[in-house]
Structure 1
Amino acid sequence: MIGALVPLSPPGWAEHGRHLLTGLELAARELEVQLVVRDTAGDPARAAAAVDEFADLGLAAVAGEFHSVVARAAAARADARGLPFLCSSAVIDALTDHPTDHVARLAPAQSHGWRIYADFLLAAGHRRIAVIAEPSVYWAAGTRILREHLAARGGTVIELDLDALGESGATAVLLLVGDAEPLVTAIREDSRLSGILIGAPAGQPELAEWGAAIPFLRYRADRLTPLGDRVEAALGGAPSFVALEGYDAILVLAEQLRTGAPWSRVTVEGTRGTIRFTRPPGGHVWQWTWPPVQVATRAASSTA
């Protein structure tokens, strides 16, 4: 049995959680793996308690989770309990505070994906980037990655609130918040901001009605593997990349549990490519290096 951590209720991003669960459940059915699912609701304490429950039940491993701060709590508890945890979707670089062989990750590290996003902004001619961010370890880490990467290439990142955006001189604004819809509406209704690019690198626009024409990061390629094509069809066509992450997580764990191989020797043909794990320089967990990364909009996408 494998434990599954998913945000299925607020304040977690429940729609992303449902997509994640759909992928997890499809793979579990096909591979005849039993799942024990727990809703984290975006709460680190609930995730840690669920990992304790999984360990007490004697489960073989844990998969899932979307929110970085929640995944950090789950990873710390899984490491403490000696329970393998494959994080499907959270990207924060510091998933654990020290090296561990109990934790691996499918999603790319934030520093990898968000640098690709920064390069996309530069290529589009944006040199002065505004950031509206909520207080969070995750958003702060993303802002720091963007600032350092852009500064080395002649760009500038300024943190401000919505009231100051019109006078900032920024040509793009990134919304690093959980609920971006009110900000999107306000910006689109402000005639002074009619030419500004709205960005949301964390991926909210893929599933949100307001997300048209807002570039975001997603971790898939235009062309999936043959398995990915089959999974996409089984999921009803064009699922969120988060569903593919869920499917791949169970696929990897089933292979690892079948063979008893360490992360470094696991190789699986997943929905988005061949999955192999390494420990990147300075990284503390085993990492798929790297899944495909796109900067996408509803209308078009560019693959990096």
Structure 2
Amino acid sequence: MNTPPTPPGAGRADGSSLRVGALAPLTRPGWVEAGRHLLAGLELAVGEVNAAGGILGRPLELLVRDTAADPGRAVTAVDELADLGVAALVGEYHSVVARAAASRADALGLPFLCSSAVLDALTDGPTDRVARIAPAQSHGWRIYADFLLGAGHERVAVALDPSVYWASGTRILREHLAPRGGTLVELDMRTHTPGAVCDALVTHRATALLLLVGSPEPAVPLVRSVRGDRRLAEVLIGAPAGQPEFAEWAELLGDAGAGVPFLRYLPERPGPLGAGVGARLRERLGAAPSFVAFEGHDTIVVLAEVLRAHGAGRADIAGAWPHVRVEGSRGPIRFSRTPGTGVWQWAWPPVRVVDRDPAEPDRFRVLHTG
């Protein structure tokens, strides 16, 4: 691994702050609520590290940049943060944005601990500089496909936006369903209105519609249209990417947003550490924390341990991923190489298929465990 020299001062132990760059979608068209939760987790953990004395006497300083779901903007931010001498990069929620950031960080020799993006291949080839807290998409979405088959859904339709991420999810679902007798039909949302989607579901006799689209548009109008169509009363609406996790979903859809299964990366019951982190996140957010907030918190917990044990040099951090042994808010965190990712991967965080309980939409029901 050819790593450029660490910027002057990045490894000093003179009490100056130790800078860490953070990426998150904080404005539209980014998923702002996800970005807010991610940042809350990052900032909470940084505050806890600093309250405990920092890293060998040096406080952590988080330099936050808004990606707004724009890969080009993310690359510019990586360049800026690298020039500012950050020891490492953390964060990001959108997979396509994280891939652009990871590739640029790798080229600059800047370690990147990705918090929430799941696209399997975060870089063009294997690298030692990038590690990830979130599970790879192929892992989680295969679990979701198993849930569909177990619930008797063999004829599946997907409402699909054009994106590398959604296309990857579609391929994973198709490849997992087909050998088990399942079929999948794609409904391109560039050419389908919500009403046309409903007609297509009837034509194809689909028993499940998966929302591989952005939220709130066009996901919310799609849900309303399907829920309002008497022909589709028995059709399951699913959202593997997790749109129903956030409060905005329930606020916009009310009861219609319940009963939509999605992937959630939280244990069914948190341990004492997770419960404590959850309580502090709830206080910070003024609302129930999503799994994304926990991912942000775990990211800083891991990075802080790496900095304490291995130093703040960029090459030192990049070389430390395989040696991580940390108790996170959702379980013990270790990194390993997993096929198809090319990065150091926590294999695996807890994976559950859950939905909002129709009888109590603020409560989440566990439907399937990976």
TM-score, normalised to structure 2, is 0.81
Q: 1:14 aligns with which of 27, 32, 38?
A: 32
Asked if the contact 1:221–1:303 (Cα under 8 Å) also holds between the matched residues in 2, the reply is: no
- For 2:303 and 2:76, how far apart are their aligned partners in 1? 21
Aligned to 1:270: 328
1:175-194 equivalence runs, <5 A = 175-179=211-215, 180-194=219-233
Q: 1:215 aligns with which of 244, 261, 286?
A: 261
Runs of 4+ off more than 6 Å:
none
Instruction: State the secondary structure of the residue aligned to 1:62.
Output: strand
CA drift of 1:34 comes to 1.3
Aligned to 1:54: 81
Tell me whether 1:2 sits opposite 2:46 in the alignment. Answer: no
Instruction: State the secondary structure of the residue aligned to 2:334.
Output: strand
Aligned to 1:244: 294
1:73-222 equivalence runs, <5 A = 73-160=100-187, 161=192, 162=197, 163-179=199-215, 180-207=219-246, 208-209=249-250, 210=253, 211-222=257-268
- For 1:238 and 1:114, how far apart are their aligned partners in 2? 25
Of all paired residues, the percent bearing the same amino acid is 67
Instruction: State the secondary structure of the residue aligned to 1:89.
Output: coil
Q: Which residue identity is paired with 1:177?
A: V
Give unpaired runs (5+ residues) of structure 2: 1-18, 51-59, 311-318, 358-364
* Deviations 1:212-253, CA, capped at 9 Å, x for gaps: 110000111112232211110111274100000000001111
CA drift of 1:258 comes to 1.4
Question: Which is worse superposed, 223-232 or 160-169?
Answer: 160-169
CA drift of 1:69 comes to 0.2
Instruction: State the secondary structure of the residue aligned to 1:173.
Output: strand
* Deviations 1:173-209, CA, capped at 9 Å, x for gaps: 0010002101111111111111100000000111112
Question: Which is worse superposed, 278-287 or 18-27?
Answer: 278-287
1:22-33 equivalence runs, <5 A = 22-32=40-50, 33=60
Asked if the contact 1:225–1:270 (Cα under 8 Å) also holds between the matched residues in 2, the reply is: no
1:35-74 equivalence runs, <5 A = 35-74=62-101
Instruction: State the secondary structure of the residue aligned to 1:131.
Output: strand
Q: What number of residue pairs does the alignment pair up?
A: 304
Q: Which residue identity is paired with 2:232?
A: L
Q: CA RMSD in A?
A: 1.1
CA drift of 1:165 comes to 1.9
- For 2:221 and 2:96, how far apart are their aligned partners in 1? 23
* Deviations 1:97-153, CA, capped at 9 Å, x for gaps: 101011000111000000000000000001000011001000000000000000011
Q: Which residue identity is paired with 1:231?
A: V
